Amino acid sequence: MMINKLDKFTKERNEAMLSLDKDKIIAYCKKYQIDLPRNEEVFWIGVHKSITAITSAPREKRLASVKYLMERDFEHYLSDITADEESRIRNDISQSTLKEE
């Protein structure tokens, strides 16, 4: 079965983003002429926002990206996060903050 262009694009996007490998992500973006932010933090926020929107990604990877974004006070795209999951993430963040103090 032949993979159409959108399926190929999506598969390559998912593989690049979920790898969390900066070089792989940059190569993917260059291939598809996707502009990259110059700011490192903005780059990683975009990667983690993308991961939260990949519905086929493993739940734990999506939740890890939610945590990354919440730690930095950014919104996420995980619309089906449960109250328990969000509470657990907020608790983990609070515990991390307390340990740093």
Q: What is the pLDDT of residues 20-63, one digit of tens each?
A: 999 999 999 999 999 999 999 999 999 999 999 999 999 999 99
Q: Let me know if residue 80 belongs to a domain.
A: yes
Are 22 and 16 spatial neighbours (Cβ–Cβ below 8 Å)?
Answer: no
CA 24 – CA 89 distance, rounded (Å):
28
| Residue found under tokens 């991390």 | 96
Q: Let me know if residue 96 belongs to a domain.
A: yes
Q: For the whole model, what pTM was predicted? A: 0.85
**Residues contacting residue 100 through CB under 8 Å, at least 6 positions apart:** none
Q: Let me know if residue 71 belongs to a domain.
A: yes
Q: Let me know if residue 25 belongs to a domain.
A: yes
If one counts the domains in the chain, the total is 1
Q: Let me know if residue 2 belongs to a domain.
A: no
Find the domain containing 61 and state its range.
7-100
Q: What is the pLDDT of residues 56-80, one digit of tens each?
A: 999 999 999 999 999 999 988 888 8
Q: What is the pLDDT of residues 82-97, one digit of tens each?
A: 999 999 999 999 887 7
